[in-house]
């Protein structure tokens, strides 16, 4: 995808996420990799009303070179791009159900959401590490995420929300949506004893869908 198309895709993704309630106010941010750098949503912007021309452009070393000031969470995005070179996009949301789990789970927990459905396992993988609480925009978050990112395509920030990656923007958004649904199911079934996928079923999914 060329830069103009990627800019439009970020705007459309933000509009869609906002329209469907995955983002409210100015919460959440999106980034995507270019051949020679990154596009990042501006800080304090509403994902529902992004302007393609004003997205922040960073060079390959994450220096801001054009557009509005980037998200204060650029460190959390950088942690994933550096630890997982195949990452093409990162989506951070405060989506309600995943954030509820992020308020219930203990920091350092690795599986805060049970493996109930195949698409959760296929899109998120085996582990969803819970990162200790950091103030939004705290650069110290980067090292904490980097310590987990090589082995996890997504994390939950304690009392804050999910950060989800993908090879493409579409992949990252689809994974963020699956995570939100899995969190909703986990909360709905919390008092019950739902049947979980077995380790053999999880292995089969990961082997088949990677
Ligand atoms: P930014 O507006 O700086 O992107 O921050 C929003 C957010 O979601 C903080 O976690």
Q: What is the domain-level CATH number for residue 101?
A: 3.40.225.10
Residue 102: per-residue pLDDT: 98
Q: Which atom of ligand 1 is nearest to the CA of 92?
A: 8
Number of domains in the chain: 1
CA of 102 relative to ligand 1 center, distance in Å: 17
Query: Is 148 a residue of the active site?
Result: no
> Cα-flanking dihedrals φ and ψ of residue 146, to 5°?
-60, -35
pLDDT reported for residue 3: 97
* Atom number, ligand 1, closest to the C-alpha of residue 42: 4
Per the annotation, the verdict on 119 as an active-site residue is yes
**Residues lower than pLDDT 50 in the chain:** none
Q: Are strands 29-34 and 37-40 parallel, antiparallel or unpaired?
A: antiparallel
3-state secondary structure of 85: coil
Tens-digit pLDDT profile for residues 134-186 = 999 999 999 999 999 999 999 999 999 999 999 999 999 999 999 999 999 99
| Catalytic one of 73, 148, 178, 180 | 73
> For residue 134, what are the domain limits?
3-209
Burial class (CB in 10 A: 0-12, 13-18, 19+), 186: buried
């Amino acid at each position: 995808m060329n830069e103009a198309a990627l800019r439009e895709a970020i705007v459309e993704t933000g509009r869609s996420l906002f329209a469907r309630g995955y983002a409210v106010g100015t919460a959440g941010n999106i980034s995507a990799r270019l051949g020679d750098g990154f596009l990042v949503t501006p800080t304090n912007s509403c994902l529902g009303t992004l302007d393609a021309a004003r997205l922040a452009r960073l060079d390959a070393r994450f220096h801001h070179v054009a557009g509005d000031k980037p998200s204060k969470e650029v460190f959390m995005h950088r942690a994933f791009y550096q630890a997982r070179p195949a990452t093409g996009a990162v989506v951070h949301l405060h989506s309600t159900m995943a954030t509820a789990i992020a308020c219930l789970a203990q920091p350092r927990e690795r599986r805060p959401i049970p493996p109930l459905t195949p698409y959760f396992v296929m899109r998120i993988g085996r582990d969803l590490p819970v990162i200790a609480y950091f103030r939004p925009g705290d650069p110290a978050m980067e090292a904490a995420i980097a310590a987990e990112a090589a082995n996890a395509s997504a994390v939950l920030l304690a009392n804050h929300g999910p950060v989800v990656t993908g090879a493409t923007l579409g992949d990252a958004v689809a994974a963020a949506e699956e995570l939100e649904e899995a969190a909703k199911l986990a909360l709905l079934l919390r008092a019950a004893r739902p049947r979980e996928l077995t380790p053999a079923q999880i292995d089969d999914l990961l082997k088949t869908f990677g």
